[in-house]
Amino acid sequence: MLGFIDQNPNNMKKGLAFLTLTGIIFLFSYCTRDQKSISDEKMSEAFALMETNCFTCHSPDASEESRLAPPMEAVKRHYMEEEPTKEQFITTFVAFLQDPKAENSKMPGAVNRFGVMPKMEFSEEQLLQVATYVFDTKLEQPDWFEEHYQEERKKYQKKGQGNQKSYLERGKNYSLATKAILGKNLLTAINTEGPAYAVEFCNTQAIPLTDSMGLAQNVRITRVSDRPRNPDNQAHEAALNYIQTAKALLQNGEQIQGQIQNRNGKKIGYYPIVTNEMCLKCHGDPDKDIKPETLAKIKKLYPGDQATGYKTDQLRGIWVLEMDKKS
């Protein structure tokens, strides 16, 4: 009954915890609500994009011998096995299309056989449309596919791999999913109100969004840097060691990878955050890349800011993920 108040302190604490958790989950759902459904018109646009750009290689009609890549149904199943919810599927699917690399792929066997797909010049909205279409639609598949898929799955399970992912891979997927959510919301802020507004958005929303993603994925996720904008994002000793090593590798033209450490009964993952052109609007050269209005907003909100002067392909910070150990 609405008028009843439980006077038991333990029950009151549980109730407050439930309300807090509900609020955070609502925030996460709110920020991703446009991933849940798209109009019939957008679905038609997504099919047209796939027909023109995807089915050339991921054809539902190609023979097993002549195919240039796995059929799209195979791609869908691999993603759905590891990312079962719609939000997870779309986020991870889009993250790969934005940065198609072997280490980001969920299909290493296909990469070994066919190579890594080229990056498609799709907008963020188009990528979301395609990912939603793939998730929601019953895709065509070649006649030979079902038998082939089941045989390959049995081989995979016999190797003892099943659907379990290493902590390193799981942490990377979590960081990519969080990056995609933050990037999507930040891009919207820039496109609607400009970079100065995006600075204000980061000031109030970046940490809550990161926290809500961690809650949704049952991990603790933070962003830290040796040159933070927000002092709350200052990296401490273990993270600083990883940052220094990663910067040295980048300077020598080498690729940087994530890293897993054991600490206090937890698995701690470190994953690089590398600058791109969009980052420079708020983190580039103050005299060249950052508009005066944006710079003024940065100085107002972050008087101790250290996060400018970057160029593309530099390490601006890292994701730190704290994961429980599992048997």
The domains located in the chain, with CATH, are 33-158 (1.10.760), 170-324 (no CATH)
128/106 Cα distance (integer angstroms)? 19
How many Cα atoms are found within 13 Å in the side-chain-facing hemisphere of 49?
20
Mean pLDDT of the 230-255 span: 91
DSSP 301-312: H-TT-------T
Per-residue model confidence as pLDDT tens digits over 280-319: 999 999 999 999 999 999 999 999 999 999 999 999 999 9
pLDDT score for 40: 79
Best CA proximity match to 238, nearest among 266, 210, 207: 266
pLDDT score for 20: 42
Per-residue model confidence as pLDDT tens digits over 129-181: 898 989 988 888 888 888 887 887 776 655 544 344 588 888 888 888 888 77
Give the residue, 135 or 7, on which the prediction is more confident.
135
Q: Express the helix, strand and coil content of the chain in percent, nearest 5 each.
A: 55, 10, 35
Best CA proximity match to 76, nearest among 136, 135, 35, 116: 135
Q: Order of strands across the sheet with 259-263? A: 220-224, 315-324, 266-274, 259-263
Number of other residues whose CB lies within 10 A of the CB of residue 207: 15
Segment among 105-119, 214-228, 259-273 with least mean pLDDT: 105-119
